[in-house]
Amino acid sequence: MINKTPRQALIYLHSTQDTKKSKVAVTQTLQHYMMVNSDPASFCTRANALLRKNLTFQKRNKKTNIRLILFPLFLCILLVVLQHLIDNQLDKPEFKCGCVCTNGKTTCGDSEKVCGVEYSDQNQVLACAIPNPPEWPPLLQLPTSELWYYTMLFTADNQSFGQIVIDNMLPSSLTMNYTDIMASLATNVLGSEVKPENNNFLEPAFTSDHPIYYLQTRCPQDNIPFPEIYQTGGNTLQQYTKSFSYKIAGFTVEKDIICADGISLWRGSASEINIELYEGQEINTIVSAFDFLNSNGNGFNVTVWYKSIFKGVTNFGPTALLRFPRSVNLVYI
């Protein structure tokens, strides 16, 4: 065997023109050295070797590395430019809350302007802040019906107690105070056939063209005295319609309010109520249903039925609100 160091043997292997026998001897020398020095390399040695290998690889792919660096930089520049263009577009007066000068001039500084919904058009109103959102009276969700009455089903272990509670739910007359119209309407039992939306900032029952209904034990057209201020003459239901006005964001809105009979019907059990609610009738006037269970003068234990079909469950947006709290309030108020 040739007596050489491993480095000398490796150089000799690549440079010698010696015979095949000599090269075999050199190869054996290297194998012997590797067997003797078979300890694994340290972490630092391997990390250093891997780093050098990657650096060598990256040097051979300069164009690819440049593209990898420039592409996110290009996207950032594009987003900044788009944001600048959008901000400039939205900064125009037609997309800002409408304002007027308090001194009567056509142009003035920002400190001399007053802004609000009442000074805005349809596009500008979306940008206006409303520090005090309107408060709406609670409503029942009424089924769409051409009949001028609505029913509430109830059952209980103690029928007499349940009848007392259900009889106290509906008032015998309408209470309205024009100095605080919304607060006074909340003391009545109101309802609407309009479907709710996914927020209650603008109650669709008050902003739509459909009237508001108030439920009473018996309406004036059924020979019960009707407040003189609301009478417009005649004997038909439509002629007992009254319009009241309310203000929202500086605008005055007129709204019709119509009386409808509220009829409470006893059922022998919760099963009977379920059958009547879910069988589906051609004309359905049921507003709510109540099971007072073992309720008595010392406490309430009540089940309240309501229809959830109005929440409009979809996979593409939020669900609509439900006018369910008013049914609960009727039990405890």
pLDDT digit string (tens) for 75-100? 999 999 999 998 888 888 788 888 88
Measured in residues, the chain has a length of 333
Question: Does 303 lie in the same domain as 202?
Answer: yes
Domain count, the chain: 2
Question: Does 123 lie in the same domain as 213?
Answer: no
Question: Does 164 lie in the same domain as 303?
Answer: yes
Question: Does 296 lie in the same domain as 150?
Answer: yes
Instruction: From 129, 156, 178, give the residue that closes a domain.
Output: 129
CB atoms near residue 29 (< 10 Å): 21
With respect to residue 152, please indicate whether it lies within any of the assigned structural domains.
yes
Question: Does 243 lie in the same domain as 210?
Answer: yes
Question: Does 214 lie in the same domain as 109?
Answer: no
Question: Does 241 lie in the same domain as 121?
Answer: no
CB atoms near residue 168 (< 10 Å): 11
pLDDT of 217: 83
Question: Does 226 lie in the same domain as 101?
Answer: no
Contact status, residue 200 vs residue 321, Cβ threshold 8 Å? yes
Query: Looking at the predicted structure, is the pLDDT value of residue 239 above 80?
Result: no
Average pLDDT of the chain? 77
pLDDT of 235: 40
Rounded to an integer, the average pLDDT of 19-48 is 62
Instruction: From 101, 129, 157, give the residue that closes a domain.
Output: 129
With respect to residue 24, please indicate whether it lies within any of the assigned structural domains.
no
With respect to residue 275, please indicate whether it lies within any of the assigned structural domains.
yes
Question: Does 278 lie in the same domain as 325?
Answer: yes
CA distance 274 to 289: 9
Question: Does 123 lie in the same domain as 151?
Answer: no
Instruction: From 75, 106, 129, give the residue that closes a domain.
Output: 129
pLDDT of 244: 82
- Domain of 125? 92-129
